[in-house]
């Protein structure tokens, strides 16, 4: 399946770029971002590979799926750490509380069949927590972009830097929407009494929706971490 290695490559690229930028600094916040992208790429790739046929009916698929959930939970904790350190240094309780809840929901995954059932309670909790983590990152970056945009308009800030906060809010919002969409699908499935056996039926629709949102997020990530010179010049141009 080509989508799994593609997702990993697209998310590993900014991880490598950010890690190199933080070289020589032990406690650099950028390392949390590098860990987030690397773990997210691994987690999404493993999950896509496990759900290639829409079912989790082999030992290998269950193992890949479980490993993917572990990677995504650790990625959420890394993003929580970065958001708290950069935007809300005093919100340590939110960071530690969110991390503890993520690990607790992950520990419940094998207990209620979440490793094989996409509508298990632990999996719904994990998706809700991940959506909240990305939503927090989006909100903080968006609010900071508004402040930076006003300063840049007065000549007191950098348009390029302000744009990077906007791009950060776009891709984090996109990934948050992915988790919200999947969570909504699972809740709707439980409400109408559909079981995981129907997953192959609506898997193509899920892939189309998630593919469109993820593609937009990837474009924002690329412009944020690998902006072409022409794009930077266009953003830096006064309005």
pLDDT band (50, 70, 90) for residue 225: confident
Helix axes 121-153, 92-108, angle to 10 degrees: 150
Per-residue pLDDT for 1 more than 60?
no
- Tens of pLDDT, residue by residue over 25-39, are 666 677 888 888 889
31/70 Cα distance (integer angstroms): 19
Is 203 within 8 Å of 51 (Cβ atoms)? yes
Q: What is the pLDDT of residues 196-223, one digit of tens each?
A: 555 556 666 666 776 777 778 888 888 8
Mean pLDDT value across the chain: 83
* 37-56 pLDDT tens trace: 889 888 888 888 887 766 77
Quote the distance between the C-alpha of residue 143 and its chain's center. 19
Asked if residue 128 has pLDDT above 60, the reply is yes
pLDDT band at 140 (very low <50, low <70, confident <90, very high): very high
| Per-domain residue ranges of the chain | 3-236
Query: How many residues are recorded in the chain?
Result: 239
Token representation of residue 213: 């949102």
Residue 26 CB neighbour total at 10 angstroms: 6
> Which of 55-59, 127-131, 191-195 bottoms out in mean pLDDT, i.e. has the lowest?
191-195
pLDDT at position 25 is 66
Q: Which residue has better confidence, 33 or 74?
A: 74
The residues, ordered by sequence, that sit 6+ positions from 51 with a Cβ below 8 Å of its Cβ are 61, 65, 199, 203
> Which of 169, 104, 167, 134 lies closest to 40 in space, CA to CA?
134
* Non-local CB neighbours of 142 within 8 Å, separated by 6+ positions: 165, 166, 169, 173
**Contact present, 34 and 19 (Cβ < 8 Å):** yes
CB atoms within 10 A of CB 147: 12
Question: In this prediction, what percent of the chain has a pLDDT beyond 90?
Answer: 23
**pLDDT grade for 195, boundaries at 50, 70 and 90:** low
The proportion of the chain whose per-residue pLDDT surpasses 70, expressed as a percent, equals: 86
pTM for this one?
Answer: 0.84
Distances (CA, A) of 80 to 68, 101, 118, 181, 239: 18, 12, 25, 21, 34
Q: What is residue 45's predicted lDDT score, i.e. its pLDDT?
A: 85
CB atoms within 10 A of CB 161: 13
Of the pLDDT bands very low, low, confident and very high (cuts 50, 70, 90), residue 141 is very high
In the prediction, which pLDDT does 239 show?
A: 52
Quick check: 112 and 121 in contact, CB under 8 A? Answer: yes
């Amino acid at each position: 399946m080509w989508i799994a290695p593609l997702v990993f490559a697209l998310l590993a690229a900014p991880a490598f770029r950010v890690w190199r930028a933080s070289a020589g600094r032990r406690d650099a916040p950028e390392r949390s971002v590098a860990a987030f992208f690397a773990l997210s790429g691994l987690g999404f790739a493993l999950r896509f590979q496990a759900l290639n046929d829409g079912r989790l009916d082999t030992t290998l698929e269950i193992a890949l799926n479980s490993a993917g959930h572990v990677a995504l939970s650790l990625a959420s904790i890394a993003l929580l750490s970065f958001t708290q350190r950069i935007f809300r240094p005093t919100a340590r309780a939110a960071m530690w509380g969110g991390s503890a809840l993520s690990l607790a929901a992950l520990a419940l995954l094998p207990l209620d069949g979440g490793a094989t059932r996409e509508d298990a309670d632990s999996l719904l909790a994990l998706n809700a927590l991940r959506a909240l983590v990305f939503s927090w990152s989006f909100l903080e970056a968006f609010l900071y972009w508004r402040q930076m945009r006003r300063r840049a308009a007065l000549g007191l800030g950098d348009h390029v830097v302000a744009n990077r906060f906007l791009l950060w809010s776009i891709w984090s919002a996109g990934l948050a929407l992915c988790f919200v969409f999947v969570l909504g699908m699972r809740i709707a499935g439980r409400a109408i009494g559909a079981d995981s056996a129907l997953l192959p039926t609506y898997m193509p629709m899920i892939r189309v929706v998630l593919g469109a949102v993820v593609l937009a997020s990837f474009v924002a990530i690329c412009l944020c971490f690998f902006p072409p010179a022409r794009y930077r010049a266009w953003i830096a141009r006064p309005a």
